[in-house]
Chain A
Amino acid sequence: MSTLQLKGVCAAPWGQALLEDIALNLQPGTVLGLAGPNGAGKSSLLQLIAGDIQPSTGQLTFCERAMTEWPPQARAQRLAFLPQMSLLSFPYTVAEVVRLGRIPHSSGYRADSDIVEQALQLTDTVSLRHRLYTQLSGGEKQRTQLARIFAQILGQESLSGSLLLLDEPTSALDLAHQQLVLLATQQLAMRGCAIVVVIHDLNLMASIADQILVLDNGCQIALGSPEQVFTTTLFKEVFGVDVTVGHHPQEGYPMITPLRPTLL
């Protein structure tokens, strides 16, 4: 059973094409990284999967069922989306924000409290729980929102059939918390949760992604394992940057080092 399947999906919500002919198949427990230059359509693809943008052609299937046929609440119980920016400007406490993730579920106050607790621990926000969201730093806010997203899909031991969409979950985090968040994501993936993630730090992406999809101008350029995708020619063609591809000394996944642009 695949968690998410796209076949020949195009989208043009405002007339011009944002995404063209996207095809992918995501199995439970796999992590898919989306890479590409600014404006390539990474966030648009996440929004399309989340249902904010409707595909103009093609098929979008979530757990063997067309995405549009899912009732909103049932879908929200197993699909959570972390957007790039958060608009929340009301003084909820951190614990209250995380508990908002339990809205689609009717699992009761006690069970919800346990899950909120787990989500706070996964994101190292336990010590922030009584702080007001509006008074947090950028990184603390990001971890709180991430905890809310985790709380939304946690609940059962097996998470196969659940899907997390993360748009730059580490953009405001320090080094230690970047590692922590990646570890938490990997734990969820091991429990069967499928994950689609946009990260601009490509070395960070290579460390957790099973597959990487490269987008440019809304078109799918490459899809494969980090080893297959990270080549010097691809970085030259898509990003216009010269790189050397090396390997992580311990883990062995590919790492890129940009070369200094030659001055004319």
Chain B
Amino acid sequence: MALALASGAISLSFLDVSQGIFDTLLGEAGSRNALIVGQIRLPRVLLAAVMGATLAISGAAMQGLFRNPLADPSLIGVTAGASLGAALIIVTGGSLLQGYIGLSLVSAGAFVGGVIAVLFVYRLATSANGTSVATMLLAGIAITALSGSIGSLLEFFADNNMLRRISLWKMGGLDGANYPRLILASVVGGALLVALPRYAGALNALLLGESEARHLGIKVDRIKLALIIWVAVGVGTSVALVGTIAFVGLVVPHIVRMLAGPDHRYLMPASALAGALLLVVADALARVLVAPTELPVGVITTIVGVPFFISLLRNRHHYGMQ
């Protein structure tokens, strides 16, 4: 965390960092260190931590719900819907999209798009006999494909400027970090970090199978709906604030499960912690590697995470995964 605060286009010593935090806390925002740390890096690092934790814990919940270690929050259509929502705003927004208001509009579009996509997927999978998880997976894939192709259609009609915005947004980035965004992220992320671990026991039972969970006295349909809503709000917010950041929601819970076992009571908090760590480190690298420009953080999470993940997969028999 401190390392992430210290590194950047202008590198600061740890002394500078602590001085910057101190100055900010005292309200003396004038100094150079206070400006860099307090106004730019601190909100950014904290935003990375909160969003990493949100994505990872959502991923853990989805993998439990779908009883599939390869499930990802994006499976229920939230990421694709959000991307489409954002692209729609970028293409149709025109001159409205200047500066701060534009950025907020795109975020709002992404959030609304993500939530609509999830509601649609959920409706498709729900019948009189309850919600079928397998149908939801298929509906999620269908909605993802549909949003993707509508998005491509939009890109086809977009001009160069819009295209660059869309593709940058898709790669994800934390460069829009500021305190209002951090507060919004913390409220949603905090609620998620408190709410989801309460379903740990039910998720453990769900791994046995849906009817087995029902025989253990779990109200399966209610739990399913609650989990989907929490994940939609959490991931929708994260896509709205920092764009699509691939890989964290899929791989972090997977890695944690291999190291700590599948019990959700430990899996969920540990995933949140590991997700926060991965995103903070990835963002620090994104800022430093080609300073003074920045790389998109989604690219880094993938480049950092994949080799680690592959090495775990090669040894998966040690961890009992088939």
A132 within 8 A of B: yes
B-chain residues with CB within 8 Å of residue A89 when the two chains form the complex? 67, 322
User: What's the interface size class on A, roughly?
Assistant: 20 to 34
Bound state CA distance, A17 and B319, in angstroms?
45
Q: Is A109 an interface residue (CB 8 A)?
A: no
Q: 1/0 per position for A39-75, CB-CB distance to B under 8 A?
A: 0000000010011100000000000000000001111
| Residue pair B211, A52 in contact (C-beta under 8 Å) | yes
The verdict on A137 contacting chain B, using a C-beta distance below 8 Å, is no
Q: Is the interface of B mostly helix, strand, loop or mixed?
A: loop
Residue from A101, A133, A134 within 8 A of B216 (CB atoms): A101
| CB-contacts of B255-299 with A (<8 A) | 257, 261-263
Q: Chain B interface: which size bin?
A: 20 to 34
B53 within 8 A of A: no
- Per a CB cutoff under 8 Å, which of B205, B217, B262, B322 touches A77? B217
State in angstroms the CA–CA spacing of A91 and B218 once bound together.
Answer: 21
B201 adjacent to chain A (CB < 8 Å): yes
Q: Which residues, 197 to 252 on B, are CB-close (under 8 Å) to A?
A: 201, 204-205, 207-209, 211-212, 214-219
B262 to chain A: closest CB distance in Å? Answer: 4
A238 to B2, CA, bound (A): 77
Which residue in A81, A87, A96 is a CB contact (below 8 Å) of B263?
A: A96
The smallest beta-carbon distance between A91 and chain B, in angstroms, is: 3
Complex CA gap A152/B215 in Å reads 10
Which residue of the partner chain, among B215, B262, B321, contacts A76 with CB atoms under 8 Å? Answer: B215
User: A87 contacts B261, CB within 8 Å?
Assistant: no
A103 within 8 A of B: yes
Contact A104 B67 (CB under 8 A): no
Report the bound CA distance from A99 to B322 in whole Å.
22
For B163-178 the 0/1 string (1 means CB < 8 A from A) is 0000000000000000
A87 CA / B210 CA spacing, docked (Å): 10
With an 8 A cutoff between CB atoms, is A92 at the interface?
yes
B263 — which chain A residues lie within 8 A by C-beta? Answer: 92, 96
C-alpha spacing A72/B211, complex, angstroms? 12
**A155 located at the interface, meaning its Cβ lies under 8 Å from any Cβ of chain B in the complex:** no
> Cβ of B207: which chain A residues have Cβ within 8 Å of it?
88, 90, 92
B interface, CB within 8 angstroms of A? 67, 69, 201, 204-205, 207-209, 211-212, 214-219, 257, 261-263, 319-322
- What are 10 pairs between A and B in contact, CB < 8 Å? A52-B214, A74-B217, A81-B215, A87-B209, A88-B208, A90-B207, A91-B261, A91-B321, A92-B263, A132-B320
By a beta-carbon cutoff of 8 Å, the part of chain A in contact with chain B is 47, 50-52, 72-77, 79-81, 83, 86-93, 96-97, 100-101, 103-104, 132-135, 152
